[in-house]
Amino acid sequence: MPGAPDSAYVAARRVLLDALEALNAHLDALVLVGAQAIYLHTGEGDLAVAPYTTDADLAVDPNALGPVPALEAAMGAAGFALRTEPGIWFGAGAVEIDLLVPEALGGGGRRGARLGTHGNRAARKARGLEATLVDNTPMAIRALEDYDNRGFEIAVAGPAALLVAKLHKLAERQGAADRLQDKDALDILRLLRETETEALASTVGGLLSDERSTHVARESIDQLRALFGSEGAAGSQMAARAAQPLEDQATIAASVTALAADLLRALE
């Protein structure tokens, strides 16, 4: 709903700023991704369903990452704690910050990214994020509370890269259908709605031709077709489920399908 941002979003922003403060020496290696980045591009949009923005996702580019301070030490000093999984940090009020390394750059191992002096637990690997290192723009991220005057300029993934990343996330976890996955599908609609098709197609074209992201971009086009190719397709139905009861399910399914078809046509 329009108006003041909700308290969970305000808290999530506060903890994101805590993390950026802790990682100040590494800001050039970070890209804001995930729901918070999507929200920065799309705002509330026209959907009656609020975006899910209670955690923050930061992509880490190992090639731009300096040796000091060590990620784990810096995060720990700022009050963040790892629980069990690598890369999943909890800050004040149990707000989650994920440090994610594009899979192609994360080295061997199953989950934790191999980050040399930074160890194997500070960040986890995630497929599809490669595109966010290519398509991003610096934006000012400021606190949403009057008494907090912190602000950082940080790269924020562009809509095309976010689309590629979300599609990989959806495709990877397809089958494990739950409400959170459904919200990811609705985020696809947010990105498609708030970005002009031609502009989106042109940036995806750039991702296809950049060797760092060629592979994941190509995969994402197949994923888009498979997940959103028809109103009955899995992704379209997930988006429709996430939007109920505030939005009409059939309208959401028809809308995401129509815009996906527009993008696929523009990419041909």
Partner 1 sequence: MGFSETQLISSIEEQLRRRLPSSWTLDVKREPKAPHGRADAHFRLRSPGGGETQLIVEAKASVEPRNVMTMVTLLRRFTDATLLVVAPFLSARAREELVAAGACYADSTGNIRLVLDDPALFIETAGASSNPFPAQRVFPIRSLKGPAAARVVRGLCDFAPPYGIRQLATGVGASPASVSRVVDLLDREALLTRGPRGEVSTVDWPGVIRRWVQDYSFTESNRAETFLEPRGLGALQRRLAKSGATYAVTGSLPAALVAPVASPRLAAVYVENTMRAADRLGLRTAEAGANVLLVEPLDPVVFDRTWSRDGVSYCGLSQVTADLLSGPGRGPAEATELIRWMEANVDAWRT
Q: Rule CB under 8 A: which residues touch partner 1?
A: 45-48, 192-194, 231, 246-248, 250-256, 258-259, 262
CB 196 within 8 A of CB 70: no
Share of the chain residues as helix, strand and coil, in percent rounded to the nearest 5: 55, 15, 30
Compare residues 132 and 195 and give the one whose CB is closer to partner 1.
Answer: 195
Structure tokens at 126: 């995630």
Compare residues 151 and 232 and give the one whose CB is closer to partner 1.
Answer: 232
Compare residues 226 and 254 and give the one whose CB is closer to partner 1.
Answer: 254
Compare residues 96 and 194 and give the one whose CB is closer to partner 1.
Answer: 194
Compare residues 68 and 250 and give the one whose CB is closer to partner 1.
Answer: 250
Q: Which H or E run contains 182?
A: helix 179-194
Give CA 217 to chain center in angstroms. Answer: 15
Q: Which H or E run contains 58?
A: strand 56-60
Q: To the nearest whole angstrom, how small is the minimum distance from the Cβ of residue 139 to partner 1?
A: 23
Q: To the nearest whole angstrom, how small is the minimum distance from the Cβ of residue 232 to partner 1?
A: 10
Q: State the chain's maximal CA–CA distance in angstroms.
A: 52
Q: To the nearest whole angstrom, how small is the minimum distance from the Cβ of residue 44 to partner 1?
A: 9
Give CA 145 to chain center in angstroms. Answer: 23
Number of neighbours of residue 264 by Cβ within 10 angstroms: 16
Nearby residues of 268 by Cβ (< 8 Å), 6 or more positions away:
none
Q: To the nearest whole angstrom, how small is the minimum distance from the Cβ of residue 201 to partner 1?
A: 16
Structure tokens at 184: 């990811």
Q: To the nearest whole angstrom, how small is the minimum distance from the Cβ of residue 193 to partner 1?
A: 5
